A and B are shown apart, each in its own frame.
Chain A
Amino acid sequence: MPYIPLKGSDFIKSRSFKDISVGLFRNYFTADVSEVKDAEAIKQSIKNIVLTNPSEKLFNPNFGSSVGQLLFEQLDPFLMDSIQSEILNTIRNYEKRVIVTNILCIPDYDTNSISVDLEYQIVGLPTIESIQFVLQRP
């Protein structure tokens, strides 16, 4: 049995979400790594999931989305559909804390990039959050 035996009192019960900032910035007040909380933590998680390629995460080859590969396809409305459904499926599979309410992918033919607007609702909260990011070939 490789796990530590845990008792109920060992758990810190919390309704909030706390993650480290993906930039690993320094918090000048605590002199520790900075943290992101609640909606920001979820936002960071969604971005991580969408921008992770399958097989990039150690020992979890299915994790992530293949939008990175789709970016090399011809830029047309069909590609927009594919990217939208890929993002939706990925979030549905790997981020159970949110329900996506709207997604909009806008191609920018001049810069060969795609702007993604994602609106979602955090489960259990009435507010709608949104996140925007740009997909571009590396």
Chain B
Amino acid sequence: MLPTNLTALDFEDIKSSIKSYLRTRSEFSDYEFEGSALSYMIDILAYNTYYVAFNANMSMNEAFLASATVRDNVVNIVKALNYTPKSVTAAYCYLHLQVQTQVGEDGTYPNNITLITGPTAQGGNFIWNRLDPMTTEVNQTTGIGEFRCVKLMEGSIVNFSYSVNTFARQRYVIPNDSVDTSTLKVSVRDNKTSTISNVFNKVENVTGVQSIDRIYFLSETEDMRYEIFFGDGVIGSKLGDGQVIDLEYLVTSGEKANGVKSFSFIGNFIDSNGNEYDVNETDYQIAEYARFGDKEETIEEIKYSAPRWYSAQYRAVTTQDYETIVKKIYPNTKTVVAFGGDSLYPAIYGKVFIAIKTKTGSKLNSATKLQIANDLKPYAIASIQPVVVDADSIFINSKIFITYDPACSSRSVSAIGANAQNAITQWASQTGINNFNGQFSLAKLQKAVSNSDRCIADISTQISLVKYVKPDPAQTNTYCVSTGSPIYDSAPGGSNTGDAAACKKEPVIRSSRFRTLDRPDTDQYFEDDGYGNLIVYYSSGNRKIVTNDKGGTVDYKTGQICFGPVSIIGAGNNILPVNDGVVDTSVTATSSIGQIQIAVQIIPSNNSVIITPTPSTVFDMIVPVISINPIGTTLPSSIPLNSLTPSDFEITPPTIVIPDIANNGDIAGISCF
């Protein structure tokens, strides 16, 4: 009988298969004894088979993008899609510098002063470099040259040269790993003695490239090195024998340098009179601490991005194209959503809105938004204007009441709580929470919790929403927020006739404390009256003193809440200074308190399914409060009337952190089969 099963891939399985065959033969019988010569022979046969099977399996796996595991193979496959994996990115910081220059021989200060390229600061055991010289005018009265927002990048500047030799097949590989390719400068000299060089620019596709254009292509090659390709005389200019290619680039520590906040200046300046200056004449301040360092694109990220980038074809037509391209041109993007202005109410035609959630969690400043929008223009259709907006957040606050069967197990109440908490984190990572276009489903949350522990008998939940009003300090404005879904009506059918017998409704919207310009010493709040108005009040003992019964409007059907017109001077403990009843509204005071935020807690009409009000809104799930009671306990109402606690959210509460799906692509310890 011949072996019929040829799918065994494990050494022991193959060996057993050979032994099974020998059992049917009469020639030899000692294959069962490990010391026999036959056993050694079987070992060699099985090992050979195992080796060939592994090799065949590995070869086939590594030939396809979906199953490849070795980085070099993944990179080679995506080369066919014209995709270059993102390199490690250097962290950068900004400094303000002031240099006191010297009076020249003519008795005047120099016209200008230049910050020289190279190492400029030390901080956190890293060197921070200026990659391009920066020149500023010198104040002729004080002699001070001021540099604002000097961008410094972490790493070491490396120079490397190649001599072109067309007689041999030459490869121009950047000979370092951890190179930030965005800092790569390529220039070509005619020969070794020449001091004049031509700068070559990186291109990603051949569209519009002429035969004389000085361009190069970049691609990743073996061992995470990058290789440079020059033109062939048809697409881009061709290099000739004896020419010298000069490469300058930054070798960086990537994300390890993020968060450095302390720097010492080590740079040098030269003024227009030729005098040099160093730290002794320099006063420096840290404008922005180090951020945005990142590691190279992982295997999983390459596998995800390359086909999508290829399908976008360097053009932004559909909203998905915008999302793919934004991730490429702004590496700090964690998630992104793009939507046409026509989907807004009221519709804005001719614009595409792009909301970005950053990896660092920070909001984009207006300069970065403009930069991203400008970078998108070459890809966009001519008449479409890309507009980058901030991602908006809506918080879901849940209180979960669990009843459990004490007879089920001797497990402690805290263990049941821990199981439920883990289940909620897992549920959050598998749903649209913390991502754009999300939808909250209470049934799925409850199912996840009830499945987390067999001792859980029943679950009841109270759901409320939290939005933040973010007023401009000491400016009179009306601020609107929207839940995107109807708001709960506490007494349907009630009428507001204005007399004392009229139906009083319980508030379903309440705010945290804030202070207004007209009452700078009193903490005030607002809540709704149930009939479409916001009432502003403060507490005096057990009484509410209403200061404005028309403080804003509420549309219960659309979820639109507008507060104002009002002039806010602070919220929570973040208040503009008040001296003898006078509010300090100076720029210094307003900038020192930062962003004011008033938490607004809202009871939604339907707590089973909640959708985001706009495509650029993200659900953030506040870490739920879980209460565990024995079976038979009376649980509170599922509508949290009279139990809204917006003061808990004056400071943005901790939300469920969803672990990244990014995989470092390391194959060690991972079974190949």
Residues of A within 8 A of B (CB): 1-4, 6, 10-12, 14, 16-22, 35, 41, 44-46, 48-49, 52, 57-60, 63, 94-95, 97
B43's closest neighbor in chain A, by CB?
A: A58
Contact residues of B between 3 and 27, Cβ < 8 Å to A? 3-5, 7-8, 10-14, 16-17, 20-21, 23-27
Contact residues of B between 377 and 429, Cβ < 8 Å to A? none
Answer whether residue B30 sits at the interface, using C-beta atoms and an 8 A cutoff: yes
Of the candidates B5, B38, B43, which one forms a contact with A3 in the assembled complex, judged by CB atoms under 8 Å apart? B5
A2: chain B residues within 8 A (beta carbon): 5, 7-8, 10, 13-14, 16-17
A94: chain B residues within 8 A (beta carbon): 34-35
Given contacts A2-B7, A58-B43, contact A46 B29 (CB under 8 A): no
Determine whether the beta carbon of B36 is less than 8 Å from that of A57.
Answer: no
Determine whether the beta carbon of A49 is less than 8 Å from that of B43.
Answer: no
Determine whether the beta carbon of A22 is less than 8 Å from that of B26.
Answer: no
Determine whether the beta carbon of B35 is less than 8 Å from that of A17.
Answer: no
Answer whether residue B160 sits at the interface, using C-beta atoms and an 8 A cutoff: no
Of the candidates B12, B26, B37, B41, which one forms a contact with A44 in the assembled complex, judged by CB atoms under 8 Å apart? B37
Residue in B16, B26, B37 whose Cβ sees the most chain A Cβ within 10 Å: B37
Q: How many residues of B contact A (CB 8 A)?
A: 35
Q: List 12 A-B contacts (CB under 8 A).
A: A2-B16, A4-B3, A4-B20, A12-B23, A12-B25, A14-B29, A35-B27, A48-B36, A48-B37, A57-B34, A58-B47, A59-B43
A95's closest neighbor in chain B, by CB?
A: B35
Min CB distance B659 to A, Å, is 37
Min CB distance A11 to B, Å, is 6
Given contacts A20-B41, A44-B37, contact A3 B23 (CB under 8 A): no
How many interface contacts (CB-CB < 8 Å) are there between A and B? Answer: 95
Contact residues of B between 243 and 260, Cβ < 8 Å to A? none
Q: A2-B13, A10-B24, A12-B23 are in contact. List 13 more A-B contacts (CB 8 A).
A: A1-B5, A3-B17, A4-B20, A6-B24, A18-B30, A19-B36, A20-B28, A35-B27, A45-B36, A48-B36, A60-B34, A94-B34, A97-B33
Determine whether the beta carbon of A16 is less than 8 Å from that of B29.
Answer: yes
B13: chain A residues within 8 A (beta carbon): 2-3
A17's closest neighbor in chain B, by CB?
A: B30
Min CB distance B44 to A, Å, is 8
B21's closest neighbor in chain A, by CB?
A: A4
Given contacts A21-B37, A41-B36, A58-B47, contact A10 B23 (CB under 8 A): yes
CA distance A100 to B38 in the complex (A): 23
CA distance A63 to B26 in the complex (A): 27
Determine whether the beta carbon of A22 is less than 8 Å from that of B37.
Answer: yes
Given contacts A4-B17, A58-B11, A59-B11, contact A18 B29 (CB under 8 A): yes
CA distance A48 to B37 in the complex (A): 8
Answer whether residue B502 sits at the interface, using C-beta atoms and an 8 A cutoff: no
Min CB distance A29 to B, Å, is 15
A12: chain B residues within 8 A (beta carbon): 23-26, 29
Instruction: For the complex of A and B, list the 7 residue pairs with the smallest distance between their C-beta atoms, beginning with the closest.
Output: A45-B35, A2-B8, A19-B30, A49-B35, A2-B13, A22-B37, A19-B36
Answer whether residue B1 sits at the interface, using C-beta atoms and an 8 A cutoff: yes
Determine whether the beta carbon of B38 is less than 8 Å from that of A19.
Answer: yes
CA distance A33 to B27 in the complex (A): 11
A97: chain B residues within 8 A (beta carbon): 33
Given contacts A2-B7, A6-B23, contact A57 B40 (CB under 8 A): yes
Min CB distance B57 to A, Å, is 15
Determine whether the beta carbon of B35 is less than 8 Å from that of A6.
Answer: no
B25: chain A residues within 8 A (beta carbon): 12
A21's closest neighbor in chain B, by CB?
A: B37
B9's closest neighbor in chain A, by CB?
A: A2
A11's closest neighbor in chain B, by CB?
A: B23
A4: chain B residues within 8 A (beta carbon): 1, 3-5, 17, 20-21
A59: chain B residues within 8 A (beta carbon): 11-12, 43, 47
Residue in A17, A35, A58 whose Cβ sees the most chain B Cβ within 10 Å: A58
Min CB distance A25 to B, Å, is 11
B28's closest neighbor in chain A, by CB?
A: A18
B23's closest neighbor in chain A, by CB?
A: A11
Residue in B16, B28, B34 whose Cβ sees the most chain A Cβ within 10 Å: B34
Determine whether the beta carbon of B20 is less than 8 Å from that of A3.
Answer: yes
Determine whether the beta carbon of B20 is less than 8 Å from that of A6.
Answer: yes
Contact residues of B between 554 and 601, Cβ < 8 Å to A? none
Determine whether the beta carbon of B1 is less than 8 Å from that of A10.
Answer: yes
B17: chain A residues within 8 A (beta carbon): 2-4
CA distance A57 to B37 in the complex (A): 12
B37: chain A residues within 8 A (beta carbon): 19-22, 44-45, 48
B11: chain A residues within 8 A (beta carbon): 58-59
CA distance A10 to B14 in the complex (A): 19
